[in-house]
Amino acid sequence: MRAAVLHQAGKADALRIEETNPPHISSPNQVLVRIKAAGINPVDTKMRQAPERFPLHMPAILGCDGAGIVEETGANVTRFSPGDEVYFCQCGFNGRQGTYAEYAAVDECFLAHKPKALTFAEAAAAPLVLITAWEALYDRVTVNPGQQVLIHAGAGGVGHVAIQLAKLAGARVATTVSSAAKAEFVKILGAEKVIRYKEQDFVQAIREWGNGNHGVDIALDTVGGPLIEKTFGAVRVYGDVVTILQPPPDINWGEARKRNLRFTQELMLSPTLMEIDEAKLHQGWILEQCAKLFEQNRLSIKVAKTFDLADVAKAHEYLENEHPIGKVVLMVS
């Protein structure tokens, strides 16, 4: 089969298209999927740049998100049959294979039926960002009707899904964006307050908007770095901050301490990294719930651009350099 293979850390051109042996079902709980499309996420570029930080077996096939058609099922698989269209998030950790390939053996717990309302490209774009946003807003904290929520980088992969999930929970949403095009996009998604952070101080803008100058109830950080610390000042006393990035070691927690903020981290990779079976099942369940929302036209996913598998290096460069609206997707077969 064709696959994008990484032999050593490097720039985007370290990903090479090669003919490799196709995977086979090695567990009664696995499903062999013929990949039609694979989503690209920022974590993929981190794996490419520093594979030693992840439990990858080299040479490695990267990619977490996939959508395709079931080819074969293990003896214990009960929810899927050959011919079923599916979507999933399974990173190539601990002996698994990623999705930048024509086939992948996938643990049944990660799979969900592909929403009929989505193309394979759209379905492949969705899983990692859906799970991340859902866990951050519904599991790490609980968004309630009427609450005010700040979502950083609302036009990005996680951000544009998080806006929609917060709105579905009945929250009022503010978001930060970098351009006029992104501002228009997030307004369509339902963002009430849109802040062009390059032109105005987002903390001041949020304090003027949120809870009578007291700040928002919840802030979701999808950017990381110094932004985490700055965000503390935009959240009300006893509010919540959730980040999907690791806080920098030199962060000053003084403002968070003074405001008695609850600080939470979200890493959707944990169930695979640590082999937590119950959490894996929960992530498959999340995708099934989101599939219903897609079918009801209450949730959407934005594909910024598609590339052929052969152009995987160009796809990585595009994601890293352009920071597009929505997701980048590889078309595999």
Report whether pLDDT(185) > 80. Answer: yes
Residues composing the chain:
333
Q: Is the peptide bond before 59 cis (omega within 30 degrees of 0)?
A: yes
Mean pLDDT score, 17-44? 97
Q: Which pLDDT value is given to residue 333?
A: 86
Count CB neighbours of 275 within 10 A.
Answer: 11
- Distance between CA atoms of residues 40 and 45, nearest Å: 8
Q: Which pLDDT value is given to residue 16?
A: 97
Mean pLDDT score, 307-319? 98
Report pLDDT digits (tens) over 207-266.
989 777 789 999 999 999 999 999 999 999 999 999 999 999 999 999 999 999 999 999
Mean pLDDT score, 326-332? 98
Q: How confident is the model at residue 186 (pLDDT cuts 50, 70, 90)?
A: very high
How many angstroms separate the Cα of 159 from the Cα of each of 169, 202, 246, 292, 305?
15, 16, 17, 20, 17
Report whether pLDDT(305) > 90. Answer: yes
DSSP letter at 108?
A: G
Token couple for 191: 């963002």
237: helix, strand or coil: strand
Average pLDDT taken over every residue of the chain: 97
Q: Which pLDDT value is given to residue 83?
A: 98
- Which of 25-39, 128-142, 212-226 shows the lowest per-residue confidence on average (mean pLDDT)? 212-226
User: What percentage of the chain has pLDDT greater than the value 70?
Assistant: 100
pTM, full prediction: 0.97
Report pLDDT digits (tens) over 157-184.
999 999 999 999 999 999 999 999 999 9
